[in-house]
Amino acid sequence: MNILLTGFDPFGGEAINPSWEVARALNGQFIGAAQVHARQLPTSFTGAPVALGRALDALAPVLVVALGQASGRAEISIERVAVNLIDARIPDNDGQRPLDQPVRADAPAGYFSTLPVKAMRDALRQAGHPAGLSLTAGAFVCNQVFFELQHRLAGTGVRSGFIHLPALPEQAAQAQPAPPSMALAAQVAAIGLALAVAMGSTSISAAAADEGAPTS
Ligand code: PCA
């Protein structure tokens, strides 16, 4: 069983993106018998849906969580709804800045996350991670990927959704006043736990648990 965990390449002139750093740190880990596969998506309106589609086709995942950076947010931000709108506030990594366009002209206005968002938030908070629910993933590439993901998996029963992450401390240090940030190790631990909760488990580990075998 495969879990797809995506992150983005750096964008907006930055040198690092926490979403990819977190995804690649969890690559290869197991929740029960399900293994995490990290894939990088380009911060590109044309490239990201193609890369996402390829990863979905190749892995046939049982769970998909897409990660993105949301500078300025202080918590692990579990998105609830993807909206059928692109309205780029800055150019993407191809220099494209589409305005007031649908993600898909033939699709509904929005899709809800199919992740257990409140159970994830509560588990994160209980473990000491600042976490909250969000009603907007913006109108940039993250929301586009979230919308594409929900559209492609609608009706399949495969759980999927999007989580925005705070900046890393080294990113925050470059700005005045410094925006909120969270250390990479804390972000990795939080997303590992979030994945486990989404799989109905309590932990993530480096080795596969043989769930079919008797325990005694
Ligand atoms: N964050 C951007 C796109 C890539 C990323 O990590 C966003 O929030 O849309």
157-183 pLDDT tens trace: 999 999 999 999 999 887 788 889 999
Of 191, 196, 199, residue with least CA distance to 166 = 191
Of 191, 110, 167, residue with least CA distance to 144 = 110
Mark whether 129 is an active-site residue: no
Across 5-17, b (16+ Cβ under 10 Å) vs e yields bbbbbbbeebeeb
Closest-CA residue, ligand 1 atom 8, reads 142
Which residues make beta-bridge pairs with 41?
8
Task: For 108-156, write each residue's pLDDT tens digit.
Answer: 999 999 999 999 999 999 999 999 999 999 999 999 999 999 999 999 9
Q: Which of 79, 129, 148, 151 is catalytic?
A: 79
Contacts of 211 (CB under 8 A, 6+ apart): 32, 33
DSSP of 76-113: EEEE-EEES-B--SS--TTS----SB-S-TTS-SEEE-
- Could you tell which of 5, 8, 73 is best to mutate to test the pocket of ligand 1, judged by most ligand atoms within 8 Å of the CB? 8
CA torsion through residues 187, 93, 145, 82, sign: positive
Mark whether 37 is an active-site residue: no
Rounded mean pLDDT, 26-30: 98
Mark whether 142 is an active-site residue: yes
Domains along the sequence of the chain with CATH: 2-205 (3.40.630.20)
- Average per-residue pLDDT for the chain: 95
